[in-house]
């Protein structure tokens, strides 16, 4: 089977080059999600994977205007980076047509093909759906967010623009033949026609088995770590306030990422020397720091409706690191995860502070072995090869 994976994915080498040269650093989580899935698919002997990609570049990241088509092959995966002009509107038009014709050419050469597409990129998704309809080839949508909630949570001031994009996105999303969802709630909301689907809340890199997490290599200080978007709606302010309120001796809070809370966070760091902000760094550095930390924290609140439709990839990455995790009881999180993590139910500053205080007062060995159990669980049951296999099995089913 030939799988054509349509998204903004690029190889690790290509993304590293973009990341290092970008004026404003591009998000890494979406890249990691799609890369792990593609690599998992490619590890199956029956599958050939071709990735058609729109490079994750915009005007805020690069002043370069014209980008030519590029081709590379990495670890058996053939990447085609579509040409585009780095200008508003024109960029999306060029990407739509270049994606359409590239897909059409590949499918006409190999009819035993399936398209798998990131539904959140309108230009790519629109081209993929149109080609699949014209060629009668199956098109699977990867749904990592619900457009309506994504638009409502955007910090973009143009609400009318966000609503329009959301409507177009939703229309295109309904045209896919099958779906990959993060949670069952997504299926209930989106899949009204009961099309084929599979729930994959996320995946971890099977290669993480080679990353050692040793008690002797951890910081002597109790280090709590957060890596992700710095936005109050994701609980980052509650985390900083709670860490201050916990008043745990010989402890530090390390924070990585960017977002609207960044300026306020820098002020907090000046006032509290045990809270340290490291900005945006590569995912490789994040993983190393996670293995050296004492406790990883994801304070995402559960009181918003959108949490039913999300399972943070951060949680998967935290667990794969082998360091203990403290997080909220997200409704989209499968029950099987709860044994391997620490959960705080009282989502207040004092509630989180009490949990931080309690956990950091426990023997380091206790936290260490909790983290190792979590790592073993996700590597055995949720690695990218196993999770990609669920998509392959779905594609083999004929409805």
Averaged pLDDT, groups of 10, the chain, 399 residues long: 96 95 92 96 92 95 95 95 95 97 96 95 97 97 85 58 85 96 94 96 94 94 97 96 97 97 97 97 96 98 86 94 97 93 97 98 96 98 97 84
Q: Tell which residue, 337, 340, 356, 327, has the closest CA to residue 224.
A: 356
Distance between CA atoms of residues 126 and 30, nearest Å: 19
> Are residues 236 and 153 both part of a single domain?
no
Pair 6, 125 in one domain: yes
Q: What confidence score (pLDDT) does residue 270 get?
A: 97
Examine the domain organization and report whether 185 and 269 are in the same domain.
no
CATH of residue 167: 3.40.50.2000
Residue 204 DSSP symbol:
B
> How many CB atoms within 10 Å of residue 303?
7
Instruction: For 194-210, give one letter per residue: b (16+ CB within 10 A) or e.
Output: ebbbbbbbbbbbbebee
Identify the pLDDT of residue 374.
98
pLDDT of residue 94: 98
Q: Which residues contact 273 (CB under 8 A, 6 or more apart)?
A: none
Residues 223 and 126 in one domain: no
Residues 109 and 178 occupy one common structural domain: yes
Q: Is the same domain home to 225 and 179? A: no
pLDDT attached to residue 318: 98
Q: What is the pTM of this model?
A: 0.92
Encoded tokens for 66: 């014209």
**Tokens read off for 298:** 């994801």
**Per-residue confidence (pLDDT) for residue 82, from 0 to 100:** 98
pLDDT at 301: 94
8 A C-beta contact, residue 205 and residue 384:
yes
CA angle at 393 for the pair 388 and 399, rounded to the nearest 5°: 135
Inter-residue contact 313 to 202 (CB < 8 Å): yes
Is-contact 6 137, C-beta < 8 A? no
User: Is 246 in the same domain as 368?
Assistant: yes
The Cα–Cα gap between 322 and 296 comes to: 10
387 shares its domain with 294? no
Co-location of 338 and 313 in the same domain: yes
Instruction: Tell me the H-state helices in the chain.
Output: 12-21, 29-42, 90-109, 122-135, 147-153, 159-173, 184-190, 236-246, 262-271, 283-292, 313-321, 349-361, 364-381, 384-396
Domain count, the chain: 2
pLDDT number for residue 119: 96
Judge residue 263's burial from the number of C-beta atoms within 10 Å of its C-beta, 0-12 exposed, 13-18 middle, 19 or more buried: exposed
Q: How far apart are CA 325 and CA 359, in angstroms?
A: 10
> Are residues 169 and 251 located together in one domain of the fold?
no
Considering the domain architecture, whether residues 171 and 299 belong to the same structural domain is answered as no
Same domain, 223 and 322: yes
Half-sphere exposure of 146 (CA within 13 A, CB side): 21
Question: Residue 236: which domain range?
Answer: 207-381
């Amino acid at each position: 089977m030939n799988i054509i994976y349509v998204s903004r994915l690029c190889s690790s080498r290509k993304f590293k080059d973009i990341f290092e040269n970008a004026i404003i650093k591009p998000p890494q989580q979406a890249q990691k999600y799609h890369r792990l899935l593609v690599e998992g698919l490619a590890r199956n002997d029956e599958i050939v994977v071709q990735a058609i990609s729109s490079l994750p570049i915009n005007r805020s990241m690069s002043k370069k205007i014209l980008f030519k088509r590029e081709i590379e092959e990495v670890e058996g995966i053939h990447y085609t980076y579509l040409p585009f002009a780095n200008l508003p509107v024109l960029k999306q038009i060029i990407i739509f047509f270049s994606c359409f014709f590239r897909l059409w050419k590949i499918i006409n050469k190999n009819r035993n093909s399936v398209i798998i597409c990131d539904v959140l990129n309108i230009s790519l998704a629109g081209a993929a759906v149109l080609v699949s309809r014209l060629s009668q080839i199956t098109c699977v949508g990867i749904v990592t967010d619900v457009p309506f909630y994504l638009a409502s949570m955007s910090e973009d001031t143009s609400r009318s623009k966000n609503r329009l994009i959301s409507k177009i996105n939703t229309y295109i999303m309904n045209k896919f033949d099958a779906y990959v969802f993060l949670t069952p709630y997504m299926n209930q909301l989106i899949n009204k026609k009961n099309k084929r689907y599979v729930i994959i809340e996320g995946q971890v890199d099977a290669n993480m088995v080679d990353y050692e997490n040793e008690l002797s290599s951890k910081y002597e200080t109790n280090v709590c770590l957060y890596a992700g978007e710095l936005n109050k709606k994701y609980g980052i302010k509650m985390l900083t306030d709670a860490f201050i309120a916990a008043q745990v001796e010989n402890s530090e809070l390390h924070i990585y990422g960017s977002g609207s809370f960044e300026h306020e966070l820098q002020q907090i760091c000046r006032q509290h020397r045990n809270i340290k902000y490291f900005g945006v760094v590569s995912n490789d550095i994040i993983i190393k720091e996670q293995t050296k930390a004492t406790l990883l924290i994801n304070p995402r609140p559960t009181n918003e409706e959108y949490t039913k439709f999300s399972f943070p990839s951060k949680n998967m990455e935290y667990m794969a690191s082998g360091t203990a995790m403290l997080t909220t009881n997200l409704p989209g999180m499968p029950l099987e995860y709860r044994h391997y993590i620490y959960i705080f139910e009282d989502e207040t500053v004092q509630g989180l502070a009490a949990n931080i205080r309690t956990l950091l007062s426990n023997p380091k060995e206790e936290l260490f072995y909790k983290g190792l159990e979590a790592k073993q669980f996700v590597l055995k049951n949720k690695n990218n090869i196993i999770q990609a296999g669920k998509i392959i099995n779905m594609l083999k089913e004929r409805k």
